[in-house]
Amino acid sequence: MMLSLNQMTTRAWDVPELLTRCAAAGVTSVGLWREPVLEYGLGATVARLDELGIGVSTLCRAGFFPVGDDVAAAKSQRENRAAIDEAAALDAGALVLLGGGLPPGSRDLDGARVAVARGIEQLLPYAAERGVRLGLEPLHPALCADRGVISTLHQALDVVERFPVPDVGVVVDAFHVWWDPQLWDAIARAGDRIFAVQLADHPVTLQDPLNGRLLPGEGVIDLRRFVHAVRAAGYRGAVEVEVFSTHHWSRPPEDVLAEVVCRTVSFLEEVS
Amino acid sequence: MMLSLNQMTTRAWDVPELLTRCAAAGVTSVGLWREPVLEYGLGATVARLDELGIGVSTLCRAGFFPVGDDVAAAKSQRENRAAIDEAAALDAGALVLLGGGLPPGSRDLDGARVAVARGIEQLLPYAAERGVRLGLEPLHPALCADRGVISTLHQALDVVERFPVPDVGVVVDAFHVWWDPQLWDAIARAGDRIFAVQLADHPVTLQDPLNGRLLPGEGVIDLRRFVHAVRAAGYRGAVEVEVFSTHHWSRPPEDVLAEVVCRTVSFLEEVS
């Protein structure tokens, strides 16, 4: 399977440096984030991608569907439509949707979860017209309250299966779901709903659920089994390495990229 | 329902101070930890509990079943039997069992999970002879790798339902399970397997999964709904407040106890 580098892993690099470095390292797919893409320019990014022959596995990120706040909901919809336009221009494999957290002061987790399905329903026509695939990403339960109320892959599938298969699917990041006793069943169920796959590893003791993640192979997740499972479910796209890590961000990004390649090449190559 | 104070919430107090303070505050049930009980003395603790008319909702903690290491397994069994003896002497409502984390260097999460069921099976006769109820506690997924591979209430029930109902059940801590989309079904399923109930709240942003918990009402969990749900499932025991919190540990414990009583009395009283 093909390696993709999510730019969060080497976030000190701007888009042109990221793309040049990836091309030099033989990495022909990237996961991009909206803010650095807009900083460099959407057109310039597209041109540079074409020039170097690099594809975009995901654009991060949209979603965050507010509840009970019309102004916030309108703003969210504008942002989400802009993200869809950008994903279309970049020909991204998926636009990553996060469920968003609880509204300020709320304890209504069920309500926030219902809002995710409603939000996707509202966004879907705009995305489908532009050929953009929406990928709902379940987040680790430690991030439930502040950024992602969709906590398991089965739960994400319960949402996305209401919508047509080519338009709405899931993004599966090993860090977020590795602990789930139902993970392997859920991956098999996901099948062609898997629009993107991300890897990050988990330390023995998770001191920082947001930025304490590890490079593949540094931690406790059986990532080889994970990659084989998504392939067995039918996924044939690139496998992104996306590592939020205060530690690795403090290193020279070129060292991190070299280590990502070294750590993943063996088990990605064994999965055809 | 009756409030119980888990001594971890006010951990600066030794056992005699905890018991005296609880009695003075009208709190007639406590959750105890093995280490401070042994420090004060098991017999002295039992005598003081009797004198003050205080019951023990849980003794924390046992479990931690090693995999593939005979020396560690033998040590774990000795410790677990000692914990059972202590729970019997204290007439604890349940001995809290944690699944334990992954063995050092292991990525075999399935194997570690199988070992929990096997460990309980081995421990059960010794516990049953002494009338000690074993309560398996699912832990938050953020704690999966280093201390508790049982991550959801349904998963804990899959394990404990293999054993007779009066002997093996679950301990349900709101902090660990609040995010679970299947929580309410799992609580209803648990029924008379619920041996103990614990409360701690969750901040919007969880910066420290181990010691960043909040007092009931300070956070995002709908604890009122949680308490009603365990009561509807048939639970009639005490409701423990167990808060691992670097912040609250830095405060005078008498203030924390007063706040625990104040924050829980209203919604515990409304559940008969």
pLDDT, one tens digit per residue, over A114-165 is 999 999 999 999 999 999 999 999 999 999 999 999 999 999 999 999 998 8
Judge if ipTM > 0.85: yes
pLDDT digits (tens, 9 = 90+) for A40-56: 999 999 999 999 999 99
The full length of chain A comes to 272
| Identity of the residue in B102, B108, B181 whose CB atom sits nearest the CB atom of A155 | B181
- Which parts of B130-252 fold into alpha helices (H)? 153-160, 174-177, 183-190, 223-232, 246-249
Question: What's the pLDDT score for residue A66?
Answer: 85
Tens digits of residue pLDDT in B29-86: 999 999 999 999 999 999 999 999 999 999 999 999 888 888 988 999 999 999 999 9
Secondary structure in 3-state letters for B103-161: CCCCCCHHHHHHHHHHHHHHHHHHHHHCCCCEEECCCCHHHCCCCECCCCHHHHHHHHC
Residues of A in contact with B221 (CB under 8 A): 107
Identify all chain B residues contacting A202, using CB atoms and an 8 Å cutoff.
Answer: 145
Phi, psi (5° rounding) for residue A226? Answer: -60, -45
**Nearest-CA distance A21 → chain B (Å):** 32
Nearest CA in chain A to B220: A107
End-to-end CA distance of chain B: 6
How many CB pairs below 8 Å do chains A and B form together? 87
Contact B197, B221 (CB under 8 A): no
8-state DSSP, A102: P
Going by C-beta distance under 8 Å and a sequence separation of 6 or more, which residues neighbour residue B255? none
> Which residues in chain A are contacts of B219 at CB distance < 8 A?
145
Give the one of A101, A151, A181 whose C-beta lies nearest to B181's C-beta.
A151
Contact A142, A119 (CB under 8 A): no
DSSP state of B243: -
Give CA–CA dist B106/A133, Å, rounded: 37
